[in-house]
Chains A and B, each alone.
Chain A
Amino acid sequence: MSVLALGMSRPVEGPSIWSALVRCVARWLFALTGSSRAAEVGGVPTAELITRFQRGQPRAFEALYDRYKDYVYRVAFFVSRNREEAEDAVQETFLDVLKALPNYDVDGPARFETWLYRVTLNRARMRRRRKQPASAEWDDVEEQLERLPSPSSERPEAVFLDGERASSLWRAVNQLPEEHRVVVMLRYQQDLAYNEIAEVLGVREGTAKSRLYNAHRKLQQLLTV
């Protein structure tokens, strides 16, 4: 199973009966002193979740995880093009976040997402050095796009897009150089603003803007070919 192949660190073991007992008591106390239920994924704002977590409610982190796990996965998957690598990257990302979250400045200028995606990108990029080939799931994406129905009156938004166009766009995007590819993904997949893109990439906004512009031009070139 992928779990075994992950080679991740095993869960922390309880060293002794006593510490297990202490943990039990602590959890019970914690529950008594009013723990928070797992926040609804869609209900509580992220900032609130973070704050709750920072104040000592581990469940808030779980809620964050639930909320963002797929987004993180998508980023990692797009970058690494390999499911297993992406899953590992997600775990690592969230572990990093777990470690860093207690000191995260909720009222800071950047959004949580940008920071999160930045960490994800780092992790995914690090993993990418392992040069794993694209996994089957990656090819599935392209196949799926090809199977998109032709524009019909049933779905007005699909008027503009059909499978052929989609898959050729997809192929073109994936032919872009890494930098452009990532920036396009951030703009269209994650819907980040330019300054957020710049945050995630760790570059200036102007750089992000010009990268995007160049990415589009390149795409146009690739598409007309």
Chain B
Amino acid sequence: MDENHVEDELIAYLDGELDAADRARVEAHLARCPACAAALEELRVLSRDLDATFGAAVSPVRLSYAAASHIRDVLRARLERPRWQWVFWQRRGLVAQVVMALLLIVFSFNTYQVFTLPAAPAPQETLVLGQDRFAPGTEAALRVIVRSMGAAPVAGAEIAVQLASREVYKGVTDASGSTDVAFTVPDDLSGAQNLVVETRSAAGESRIVRPIHIERAYKIYLAGDKPAYRPGQILHARALVLDATDFKPASGRGVVFELLNAEGQRVERRAVRVSEFGVAALDITLSGSAPLGAYTLRATVDDTVSKRTITVDTYTLPAFNMALETARAFYAPGDTVQGTVEATYFFGKPVAGGQVTLRSADGVLAAGETDAQGCFNFGFTLPPDVPAAASLLFEVDIEVIDVAGQRAGLRHQIPVAPEPILIKAIPESGLLKPGVENTVFVMTAYPDGAPAETTLTVAISGREYTAATSYGLAELRFTPTAGTATLDIVARDAASAEGREIIALRADNAPGALLLRAEKAAYTVGDTLRLEALLAGDARTVYLDVIHARQTAAVLSAPVVDGRATFALDLDNTHVGALELRAYTLSPEGALTTDTRLVVVDAPSRVAVDVAADRERYYPGETARVNIQTSRVTDGVAAPVEAALGIAVVDASVYALDTLPPGFARAYFLLEQSMLERRDTAGLDVPALLESEGEARAAQDVAAQAAWAGAPVADFSLRVSATTTPVDEAAQARQTLAGRLALVLALLPLLVSVVVARGLAPVGVLGRALRRLGWGLLGAVILAPLAVGGVVLALLLPAFAGVILVALLSFVLVLVVIVLIHGWRRRDVRVQLVTGLLVVYLLLGGLLVVLAAQGNGPAGWLLFILVATFLLLVGALVLLGQGLIVEGRRAVGWVTTALAILLIFLAVTLPAVPALTSGLTRALGNPLVYAGPLAWMSGCAMPAPQAIEKTVEVEKVIEKTVEVEIPVEIPPTPSPMPTAVPEATALPIPAEPYPLRHIFPETLYWAPEALTSPDGILAFDLPLADTITTWKLTALASTCDGDLGAATYDLVVFQDFFVELALSDEVCAGEPLTITATIYNFLPEAQTVSVLSSPDTWYTLLSEAEAAMLPADGVASTQIVICPEERGTFLFRVDAEGAQMGDAVAIEVMIP
């Protein structure tokens, strides 16, 4: 058929380029079609001619030799490379891929390591509890507890403690997370120093630095010879200074004595050095015009101050002693009080015939006369209307005027109580501790304070308990609940007197109450102190601090078993004195629950002082020979010991002005201030507590527990905690990894771009590809809003975000695989490299996204670079794709381009997945980034950089040491045999028929530091003055080792007949002055006594004394009136003569 001409296939037919079917068809057609056959012939000719023409034209054409050589040289130059370089270069694609694979493997190991790093341990807390005072050379202790923030104890933490840069302790915490830091404070340290506690554990290190004070604590027992002085007298002060920790004398230290007058002005200040026995003494002369009032005598050693109040007054010594006794110790309102007033002269004789008056605020209660024994019995009725609220003290003033007209007064208080029995209850801990068995001390006493033996019925929250008091104390045991417990107590004594009291006791509100109980209140060295702590809470360990002399001497800890923890401490010499036992538990929040007990540990030995005089009675002016023997008593065995004695011999009438018993000194040193203040409550008698035995001691012990129950105690003076937040290595490692990843990811696209550019350029494709890319970008910018809008809409459904992400990832992976395979098959190095780099980029990028989601992402400039390079990567991929298209490899070219665009979608989808949200994904996925130049110029939001927290707290205070003022020295060296200190005038005394008595000191003898012989013997002559009285000798003994003892002794000076002179109050020159002469006749016969005054120049006699008639054992007085003419101090003498005896007396008269 003609329409199927095969003209266009003829040349192919001629060239044999048709397949069999076509050839057959053409031949068939040619057979039929003459036109085509003709055309074929023409074509054949043409083809033949062309062949020949080309052959002829081309064969001579060849590269000129010069050009060929030159080109050869060029090529050779390129070929001339070392072989390994050549191989590498040939195989560069493979080499690059191998290197990438190796890097990836190494990287995955590193990544695996980073992700399997253990999580940082929880932050830890180190607690240090103790006191901030340490005495050098003593045993000290601290409690150090290490626990993690979840309150789990940290065992095995290394603790090192340094004191003033010296290591004093090194140890490891136990299973409860704490360690008993016990060390000896170095001897040579003093002042403000630093205490350093270093903790090292798996969580890290912490260092606590705290200023503490190293100084000795002292106790100063300050005593004077008298409690009251007159202006012009000498104040004898004595301080016994012992170290508070070991009771050794504080020899060599300086004591500053100060005397402040009633207005607080300093009258005297002097520094004295303490002797080897711990004694420092000072005599202060009060000025004659010293203002009257309450003075304060102060002794200071370093920080320790001891005070004594002294009255300066123009007092008159009482002429005789008075005492009042009532039949009953206490009365109820309206009762009749019956009693006796007894008056005795100080030299021992009764005041007979004295006028007695008893007065109350309402008036005279009773009046009468003392009998020959000096007693007066009285009775009066109490007013009926004493308010029934509390017990009252009914004051009675008693005045006695003796025959001679001398007066003395006494104030007595009679307890008047509506209730016959007073009841007090005190919990053993001060407050009730709910949830554990508490002991409540119930004290029953009569209104005068005497303990009452009663049977008790106690009702608490509906339950009834019965108990019986012993020595006035009963112990009640019950378990209180939180809140207030009300005790309804009824006490009945043997005489059916009854008292009833409703007492509300408060309970401790703190959660997890802790109750510490000691077996006893008083111990001796060598005992084992056993303590029991009861808890209501769920703490597992109870800690115990043993505080001695304000320093933590030991720390103990015990596990809690069934709500109980027990402690045992063997008491040795370092524990002598008061011990504050503080038990505490630590709650997970760091709150301390404490309970404290006060106990006293008696010194193992004390000093027994035996005083003896050679006679029972002396005449005035005689010398007594006093013998004192000191011996150390240990466990009942006495051995003579050398001691220093503070001896005072004072007129007994002075003591009527009230003073402390010398036996108080020992208690003063052993007990703490808060215990001393309560020494008279609950029937406690401290000397009895320490020295009695058996039942009496047991009773005193209970009394001590009751007395000291709830005594205020100080808190921890050293309490510090430091926190270690461990460096989170895992987080750091991840951060480092993220940083490295980010850098690598920033570099990869650059590599890709370089590969693409250099791969496309030689083939001549780069330019065209770039052009196509440019057009594509323009199109993308125009279309961007649509695409972005679509994506954003899709992402508004976050539920789909995950699905979309997974889908995109799969697409991307599939395309990558396709391109990769193509590259392998076609041996196209560029494609291989780019795809390999892209795979690496995707892997690392994924890892970085995961890290960023955990908070370790890049920030700031790095993030910006990452986003920019991502864009570069996408652009390079598109470029490569277009380049491949231009080269003719359209399929793979479009696949690559599609891959690049999918990457954009992938990036935009990332932030929609909640698990992957981070600054990185938000920046990458910000659609504006891909919306073109406009968006770039307006700036995409950059996330704020993240901060990593890593704090380690350190306490840091360094103080300079403070110099302690060394007082000026005035060393008194007491001689072994001190002499008496008479307060006598220096006026000459003429010889007389009767010895003139004119020396009437109030303090006869004062020896602040009289040393015994090494055998403990001190014998001395005591010249007795002229006073007819009883001299009270008190001796306080202390040894070098700090043992103490005291004793008193009475020395009676008497003669059967004597005169005493007294001045009336006002002495004025030119004014009449009355001098009363009281004559005492204790001779068995009556006497007529004449009283003569010696004339002297300084006065004129206005009225002579009358002769007095005295019965046996009688007292009379007579007056002499004179008028002083001159000013000054003079002696006024009186001679009294009786038939058998006489007396001559002179007194000092000072006329101002």
- Interface on A for B, CB 8 Å cutoff? 1-3, 6, 8-9, 11-12, 22-23, 26-27, 29-30, 54, 56, 58, 61-62, 65, 69-70, 73-74, 77-78, 83, 87, 90-91, 94-96, 98-100, 102-105, 122-123, 126, 137, 141, 144-145, 148, 157-158, 160-161, 165-166, 169-170, 173, 184-185, 187-189, 193-194, 202, 209-210, 212-213, 216, 219-220, 223
Which residues of chain A are within 8 angstroms of B67 by Cβ–Cβ distance? 2, 87, 90
B17 and A193 form a contact (CB under 8 A): yes
Known: A23-B80, A23-B82, A141-B61. A61 touches B52 (CB 8 A): no
Distance between B278 CB and nearest chain A CB, rounded to angstroms: 93
Q: How many A-B Cβ pairs are below 8 Å?
A: 165
Contact of A70 among B42, B63, B66, B72 (CB under 8 A): B63
Q: Which of B43-51, B103-111, B381-389, B653-661 contacts A (4 or more CB under 8 A)?
A: B43-51
Complex CA–CA separation, A8 to B72 (angstroms):
13
Complex CA–CA separation, A37 to B66 (angstroms):
23
B46 and A87 form a contact (CB under 8 A): no
Distance between B893 CB and nearest chain A CB, rounded to angstroms: 13
Contact of B62 among A8, A73, A122 (CB under 8 A): A73
B56, B86, B87: most-surrounded residue (chain A CB, <10 A): B56
Complex CA–CA separation, A11 to B52 (angstroms):
40
A169 and B79 form a contact (CB under 8 A): no
Known: A161-B49, A173-B50. A102 touches B82 (CB 8 A): no
Complex CA–CA separation, A61 to B68 (angstroms):
14
Complex CA–CA separation, A26 to B82 (angstroms):
6
B56 and A166 form a contact (CB under 8 A): yes
Residue of A nearest to B71 (CB): A91
B696 contacts the other chain (CB 8 A): no
Contact of A145 among B53, B76, B829 (CB under 8 A): B53
A104, A137, A187, A189: most-surrounded residue (chain B CB, <10 A): A189
Distance between B51 CB and nearest chain A CB, rounded to angstroms: 6
Q: Which of B89-97, B160-168, B336-344, B606-614 contacts A (4 or more CB under 8 A)?
A: B89-97
Distance between A57 CB and nearest chain B CB, rounded to angstroms: 10
A12 and B49 form a contact (CB under 8 A): no
16 contacts between A and B (CB under 8 A): A2-B67, A12-B77, A23-B80, A56-B87, A62-B79, A69-B63, A73-B61, A91-B74, A98-B78, A103-B93, A122-B763, A144-B57, A161-B52, A166-B56, A216-B46, A216-B47
Complex CA–CA separation, A12 to B57 (angstroms):
37
Contact of B53 among A3, A123, A170, A213 (CB under 8 A): A170
Which residues of chain A are within 8 angstroms of B71 by Cβ–Cβ distance? 65, 69, 87, 90-91, 94
Complex CA–CA separation, A184 to B888 (angstroms):
22
Residue of B nearest to A166 (CB): B53
Which residues of chain A are within 8 angstroms of B45 by Cβ–Cβ distance? 160
Known: A56-B86, A161-B53, A169-B50. A73 touches B79 (CB 8 A): no
Contact of A11 among B58, B73, B83, B92 (CB under 8 A): B73
- Interface on B for A, CB 8 Å cutoff? 7-12, 15, 17, 42-43, 45-54, 56-58, 60-64, 66-68, 70-84, 86-87, 89-93, 762-764, 826-829, 888
Complex CA–CA separation, A166 to B52 (angstroms):
8
Which residues of chain B are within 8 angstroms of A69 by Cβ–Cβ distance? 63, 68, 71
Contact of A210 among B8, B53, B73 (CB under 8 A): B8
Which residues of chain B are within 8 angstroms of A169 by Cβ–Cβ distance? 49-50, 53
A105 and B61 form a contact (CB under 8 A): no
Which residues of chain B are within 8 angstroms of A105 by Cβ–Cβ distance? 826-827
Complex CA–CA separation, A105 to B829 (angstroms):
12
A30 and B62 form a contact (CB under 8 A): no
Distance between B1090 CB and nearest chain A CB, rounded to angstroms: 146
Residue of A nearest to B80 (CB): A23
Which residues of chain A are within 8 angstroms of B888 by Cβ–Cβ distance? 202
Complex CA–CA separation, A9 to B71 (angstroms):
11
Which residues of chain A are within 8 angstroms of B42 by Cβ–Cβ distance? 220
Which residues of chain B are within 8 angstroms of A104 by Cβ–Cβ distance? 827
B12 and A209 form a contact (CB under 8 A): yes
Task: Identify the 9 closest CB pairs spanning chains A and B, nearest first.
Answer: A102-B90, A11-B77, A58-B79, A26-B82, A188-B54, A87-B67, A161-B52, A73-B63, A70-B62
A194 and B57 form a contact (CB under 8 A): no
Complex CA–CA separation, A223 to B50 (angstroms):
12
Complex CA–CA separation, A182 to B115 (angstroms):
64
Which residues of chain A are within 8 angstroms of B64 by Cβ–Cβ distance? 83, 87
Which residues of chain A are within 8 angstroms of B50 by Cβ–Cβ distance? 169, 173, 184, 188, 219
Complex CA–CA separation, A188 to B91 (angstroms):
38
Known: A26-B83, A61-B75. A141 touches B57 (CB 8 A): yes
Query: Which secondary structure dominates chain A's binding surface?
Result: helix
Complex CA–CA separation, A15 to B1067 (angstroms):
130
B15 and A95 form a contact (CB under 8 A): no
B63 and A212 form a contact (CB under 8 A): no
A122 and B764 form a contact (CB under 8 A): yes
Distance between B344 CB and nearest chain A CB, rounded to angstroms: 129
Which residues of chain A are within 8 angstroms of B826 by Cβ–Cβ distance? 105
Complex CA–CA separation, A3 to B15 (angstroms):
41
A170 and B57 form a contact (CB under 8 A): yes
Distance between A81 CB and nearest chain B CB, rounded to angstroms: 11
Complex CA–CA separation, A8 to B829 (angstroms):
26
Distance between B661 CB and nearest chain A CB, rounded to angstroms: 109
Complex CA–CA separation, A213 to B14 (angstroms):
11
A98 and B75 form a contact (CB under 8 A): yes
Residue of B nearest to A203 (CB): B888
Complex CA–CA separation, A100 to B64 (angstroms):
25
Which residues of chain A are within 8 angstroms of B83 by Cβ–Cβ distance? 26, 29-30, 56
Which residues of chain A are within 8 angstroms of B53 by Cβ–Cβ distance? 145, 161, 165-166, 169-170, 173, 188
Complex CA–CA separation, A32 to B53 (angstroms):
49
Which residues of chain A are within 8 angstroms of B7 by Cβ–Cβ distance? 213
Contact of B82 among A22, A95, A145, A188 (CB under 8 A): A22
Which residues of chain B are within 8 angstroms of A54 by Cβ–Cβ distance? 90
Which residues of chain A are within 8 angstroms of B82 by Cβ–Cβ distance? 22-23, 26
Complex CA–CA separation, A145 to B53 (angstroms):
8
Q: Can you name 9 extra interface pairs (CB under 8 A) apart from A157-B52, A166-B56?
A: A6-B70, A65-B71, A74-B62, A98-B75, A160-B49, A166-B52, A170-B57, A213-B9, A216-B46
Which residues of chain B are within 8 angstroms of A9 by Cβ–Cβ distance? 74
Which residues of chain A are within 8 angstroms of B762 by Cβ–Cβ distance? 96, 99-100
Which residues of chain B are within 8 angstroms of A157 by Cβ–Cβ distance? 52
Which residues of chain B are within 8 angstroms of A62 by Cβ–Cβ distance? 72, 75-76, 79
Residue of A nearest to B78 (CB): A98
A188 and B51 form a contact (CB under 8 A): yes
Known: A23-B80, A65-B72. A74 touches B90 (CB 8 A): no
B75 and A103 form a contact (CB under 8 A): no
Distance between A115 CB and nearest chain B CB, rounded to angstroms: 11
Which residues of chain B are within 8 angstroms of A95 by Cβ–Cβ distance? 74-75, 78
Complex CA–CA separation, A91 to B80 (angstroms):
17
Which residues of chain B are within 8 angstroms of A77 by Cβ–Cβ distance? 61
Complex CA–CA separation, A44 to B797 (angstroms):
68
Distance between A224 CB and nearest chain B CB, rounded to angstroms: 10
Which residues of chain B are within 8 angstroms of A8 by Cβ–Cβ distance? 74
Distance between A151 CB and nearest chain B CB, rounded to angstroms: 11
Which residues of chain A are within 8 angstroms of B72 by Cβ–Cβ distance? 62, 65
Complex CA–CA separation, A136 to B45 (angstroms):
30
Distance between A161 CB and nearest chain B CB, rounded to angstroms: 4
Which residues of chain B are within 8 angstroms of A170 by Cβ–Cβ distance? 53, 57
B75 and A145 form a contact (CB under 8 A): no
Which residues of chain B are within 8 angstroms of A188 by Cβ–Cβ distance? 50-51, 53-54
B17, B74, B87: most-surrounded residue (chain A CB, <10 A): B74
Known: A56-B83, A87-B71. A148 touches B56 (CB 8 A): yes
Which residues of chain A are within 8 angstroms of B46 by Cβ–Cβ distance? 216, 219-220, 223
A216 and B11 form a contact (CB under 8 A): yes
Complex CA–CA separation, A55 to B1042 (angstroms):
105
Residue of B nearest to A13 (CB): B77
A61, A83, A212, A216: most-surrounded residue (chain B CB, <10 A): A216
Which residues of chain B are within 8 angstroms of A189 by Cβ–Cβ distance? 54, 58
